[in-house]
Chain A
Amino acid sequence: MSVARSRQSEPTGRALLKGLAFASPFIIGFLVLYLWPILASGYYSLTDFSLFKAPKWVGLANYERMISDAKFWKSLYNTLFFTFVGVPVDIAISIAGAHILNQKLKGQPLWRALVYLPSIVPAVAAGFLWRWLLNAQYGFVNEILRWFRIPQPNWLLDASWGGISVIVLMLWTVGGTMLIYLAALKNVPQELYEAAELDGAGPLRRFWHITWPMISPVTLFQVIVLIIAFLQVFTQPFVLSKDPGLGTQTATGPGDSMLSYSIYLFQNGFTFLKMGYASAMAWVLLFVTLGITLLILWSAKKWVFYDNR
């Protein structure tokens, strides 16, 4: 009996080893490049650490310091502003754009490619381009506003417009989300629209009662992905705030309006050499992201429709 069992288990054990060997690139990569840094940053967040000296245990002091750090709150406020204004606008533009792309237009593949084009432009290059487009004196955006006699804001040097400029740059890559919505729209059964039309439903009612519920799983996914991207925003405000003519190196924009959470985290870690504080900030960002995501997942029961249920 025992001989038979060992004969059976031998190939299973070998198969397991083989499996592990094949999976080892991922397992090692995950352990070394993800799990270890995550655990290490948790430990460092409880220490006074500068990258160069041995960490010194300070308990929760780094977390306590955040409470009285005005720049921490400013960076958190800015980031939440980018997120809660930027994500709904991104979703709205994407859905509207996807509807337009879903029409039977001439040269449809070309239009689809064009809306996706900005997404393949590197964020730094796009940032430099937009810095000129948004220039208050010579920028193309203000030139257009001037044609329509609309007041032209000082996008990059006015504290009340700095955050909006970051959102504008973030929205430039809305094409990616738009194409995902386009795929979602194509999956909505046409007979639902036909039935609604027979019942006399107009375009708005058709959207609200058919399209919106049917694409809601995609919306849930997009909202979570976009929120994570907006909460981690770094490149766009970093490039926009580096004004070429002023010789400033603040990377925080007018009135610190472009100081994103990630930029302040980076400054603490690599400029001020406060890696312990930066690690604590990273954990707070994780919990903020987790909290918002869980809230959205909880609310999803009320607004996300799965047709297989």
Chain B
Amino acid sequence: MERKAQARAAHAAMSTALGAVMMFGAVAGAYAQDKTEITFSYLWGGAEGAALEQIITDFNASQDKIVVKGVSSPDMTKQLASMSSAKGAFDISDNFASNIASWSNQGILLPLDEFGLDTSDFPESIMKQLVVDGTLYSVPIATHNFQLVYNKKLLDEAGVTPPTSMAELADAIKKLTKVDAEGNVTQLGLGLTDISAGLKTLGYAHGGDWNRDGKPTPTDPGFVEGVKFYFDNVVAPVTPAAYNKFVAGFGPYMSDQDSFKQGKIAMVFEGEWRSKFNTEAGMDWGVVPVPGKTPELNGSTWADVSTLFIPTNTPNKEAAGEFLKYLISPPAMEKFSHVLANLPGRLSLVDSATYDDLPNFKVWLDALKNPNTHGLPPALYMAEYNADLASAFDSVLQGAQTPEAALQAVADRTGSYSQ
């Protein structure tokens, strides 16, 4: 009798437990059905990735219709491959402005006009890069530009004040470059941590442009002059062989062996992310707008953009669009750009006090409003053109070709570019 009661009690307990599990499953199922899950694949990793994950968490907590799953995937080839299939591996992702024209031409980017985004707050130099044939394909999550960053300690030791003109820059390079008795370079007045970015900046500072009216213009006189300025003032005085031997000892960028951090180079054209790195590295540093060949050209630079896009093969357009709107909303953009020490893509954030704790950041922020900040036109040939320019720059720095000859060789190849 007692055993029967025990069995009945056990049976009842099991039934209750089973019922509870089924009810929980049903509720969870209904909950999952209500929510659309989308994947945000981003190229960032490390601290940047962690900042994005925090924003994703905030978004997921802010509403109950969409669940975003973040995936860090820094492989651009994989990103492209995913967009070639009928259904891709992600619903929203990021890249750079230089790829937007080519990718939109391939039909793999979803036009964003249907989402009714307000783009009036984005700087013109930025928007110019994201609209292809009148259609918006991508939006900025962060922007970047280049200014002249200098090592205060080295400039003070040499009695040099931060240059404000091209003549002063040439003079400062001379005073800050050191060569030992055996002809080995021990310090460069002006270095390049990104050859292409640095030489393009010098081209703009000489009134040149390597892309005019949507056409590659590698032999633009001002652009050639910019490259020539670097060779004549930095490379030639120490000889190309000594220059390249010294450069060969540069450690990984933004590491403890970073050439600027180590004091191997006194000045460098750098982006705003340096503010955080230099400060964390305990450096005594400063930044001035890029000196121009003429006073009107002072502050000449160019803007690059970290962009967000939705691939055409996403089955979750609406949800991806909602998340995109959230990411570029002022609070999310401000939070993200601040953590990364990147520039925001909105003019309304330029004067935000949030960035006050990033030393010298204002020089880069102000450039967002400067008419001398150039934006690159959306062009199909950008990847190929950049690769050819990189080869040409290398050839100049090797002393193998003059700037004129190297850039003419690029001009000779532009005929085969996708137009």
A186, chain B: closest CB distance, angstroms: 44
- Of the 9-residue stretches A195-203, A213-221, A251-259, which lies at the interface with chain B? A251-259
A155, chain B: closest CB distance, angstroms: 8
Task: State which of A68, A137, A250 has its C-beta within 8 Å of the C-beta of B390.
Answer: A250
- Residues in A whose Cβ lies below 8 Å from that of B395: 255
Q: How far is the CA of A249 from the CA of B418 in the complex (A)?
A: 21
CB proximity to B under 8 Å, residues A53-87: 53, 65, 68-71
Whether the pair A250, B84 counts as a contact (CB closer than 8 A) is no
> Which chain B residue has the least Cβ–Cβ distance from A156?
B248
Q: How far is the CA of A135 from the CA of B412 in the complex (A)?
A: 34
B396, chain A: closest CB distance, angstroms: 11
Whether the pair A247, B194 counts as a contact (CB closer than 8 A) is yes
Known contacts: A246-B192, A246-B195. The answer to whether A159 contacts B250 by CB under 8 A is no
The answer to whether the Cβ of B8 comes within 8 Å of any Cβ in the partner chain is no
Give how many B residues have a beta carbon under 8 Å from the other chain's beta carbons.
42
Whether the pair B107, A137 counts as a contact (CB closer than 8 A) is no
Whether the pair B384, A69 counts as a contact (CB closer than 8 A) is no
> Which chain A residue has the least Cβ–Cβ distance from B254?
A247
Task: State which of A51, A69, A256 has its C-beta within 8 Å of the C-beta of B391.
Answer: A256
Give how many A residues have a beta carbon under 8 Å from the other chain's beta carbons.
36
- Residues in B whose Cβ lies below 8 Å from that of A70: 409, 412-413
Q: How far is the CA of A248 from the CA of B196 in the complex (A)?
A: 8
Whether the pair A272, B252 counts as a contact (CB closer than 8 A) is no
> Which chain A residue has the least Cβ–Cβ distance from B80?
A270
Whether the pair A270, B249 counts as a contact (CB closer than 8 A) is no
Known contacts: A137-B248, A255-B395. The answer to whether A245 contacts B106 by CB under 8 A is no
B243, chain A: closest CB distance, angstroms: 9
The answer to whether the Cβ of A187 comes within 8 Å of any Cβ in the partner chain is no
Q: How far is the CA of A68 from the CA of B415 in the complex (A)?
A: 11
Q: How far is the CA of A66 from the CA of B258 in the complex (A)?
A: 40
- Residues in A whose Cβ lies below 8 Å from that of B249: 135-138, 245
Known contacts: A52-B106, A250-B391, A255-B394. The answer to whether A245 contacts B252 by CB under 8 A is yes
- Pick from A52, A71, A136 the residue with the most CB of B within 10 Å: A52
CB proximity to B under 8 Å, residues A83-133: none
Task: State which of A245, A249, A254 has its C-beta within 8 Å of the C-beta of B250.
Answer: A245
| B382-403 near A? 1/0 per residue, CB < 8 Å | 0110010011001100101000
Known contacts: A245-B259, A255-B395, A267-B387. The answer to whether A51 contacts B252 by CB under 8 A is no
Known contacts: A154-B245, A255-B394. The answer to whether A51 contacts B84 by CB under 8 A is yes
Whether the pair B106, A254 counts as a contact (CB closer than 8 A) is no
The answer to whether the Cβ of A273 comes within 8 Å of any Cβ in the partner chain is yes
CB proximity to B under 8 Å, residues A261-275: 267, 270-274
The answer to whether the Cβ of A244 comes within 8 Å of any Cβ in the partner chain is yes
Whether the pair B245, A137 counts as a contact (CB closer than 8 A) is yes
- Residues in A whose Cβ lies below 8 Å from that of B246: 137
Q: What total count of A-B pairs have CB within 8 Å?
A: 110
B312, chain A: closest CB distance, angstroms: 9
Q: How far is the CA of A256 from the CA of B394 in the complex (A)?
A: 8
| A224-249 near B? 1/0 per residue, CB < 8 Å | 00000000000000000001111111
A25, chain B: closest CB distance, angstroms: 24
- Residues in B whose Cβ lies below 8 Å from that of A254: 244, 394, 398
The answer to whether the Cβ of A194 comes within 8 Å of any Cβ in the partner chain is no
- Residues in B whose Cβ lies below 8 Å from that of A135: 248-249
The answer to whether the Cβ of B416 comes within 8 Å of any Cβ in the partner chain is yes
Whether the pair B253, A271 counts as a contact (CB closer than 8 A) is no
- Residues in A whose Cβ lies below 8 Å from that of B102: 273
The answer to whether the Cβ of A157 comes within 8 Å of any Cβ in the partner chain is yes
B268, chain A: closest CB distance, angstroms: 10
Whether the pair A244, B251 counts as a contact (CB closer than 8 A) is yes
A243, chain B: closest CB distance, angstroms: 8
- Residues in B whose Cβ lies below 8 Å from that of A159: 398, 400
- Residues in B whose Cβ lies below 8 Å from that of A65: 416
- Pick from A248, A252, A270 the residue with the most CB of B within 10 Å: A248
- Residues in A whose Cβ lies below 8 Å from that of B106: 50-53, 273
B404, chain A: closest CB distance, angstroms: 17
CB proximity to A under 8 Å, residues B224-258: 241, 244-253, 257-258
Whether the pair A245, B251 counts as a contact (CB closer than 8 A) is yes
- Residues in A whose Cβ lies below 8 Å from that of B127: none
CB proximity to A under 8 Å, residues B258-274: 258-259
Whether the pair B250, A244 counts as a contact (CB closer than 8 A) is yes
Whether the pair B244, A157 counts as a contact (CB closer than 8 A) is yes
A251, chain B: closest CB distance, angstroms: 9
Q: How far is the CA of A158 from the CA of B108 in the complex (A)?
A: 40
- Pick from A65, A70, A245, A254 the residue with the most CB of B within 10 Å: A245
Task: State which of A154, A244, A250, A267 has its C-beta within 8 Å of the C-beta of B253.
Answer: A244
- Residues in A whose Cβ lies below 8 Å from that of B84: 51-52
Identify 18 new A-B residue pairs, CB closer than 8 A, beyond the known A137-B248, A158-B398, A246-B194. Answer: A50-B106, A68-B416, A70-B413, A136-B248, A154-B244, A158-B244, A159-B400, A244-B250, A245-B193, A245-B247, A245-B253, A246-B195, A246-B247, A247-B192, A247-B194, A271-B387, A272-B384, A273-B102
Give me the interface of B with A, judged by CB distance under 8 Å.
77, 80, 83-84, 102, 106-108, 192-197, 241, 244-253, 257-259, 383-384, 387, 390-391, 394-395, 398, 400, 409, 412-413, 416, 418
Give me the interface of A with B, judged by CB distance under 8 Å.
50-53, 65, 68-71, 135-138, 154, 156-159, 243-250, 252, 254-256, 267, 270-274
Top 6 A-B pairs ranked by shortest CB distance? Answer: A245-B250, A137-B249, A247-B194, A136-B248, A52-B106, A244-B252
- What are 14 A-B contacts with C-beta separation under 8 Å? A51-B84, A136-B249, A138-B249, A157-B398, A243-B250, A246-B194, A246-B195, A247-B192, A247-B197, A248-B194, A255-B394, A255-B400, A267-B387, A272-B383
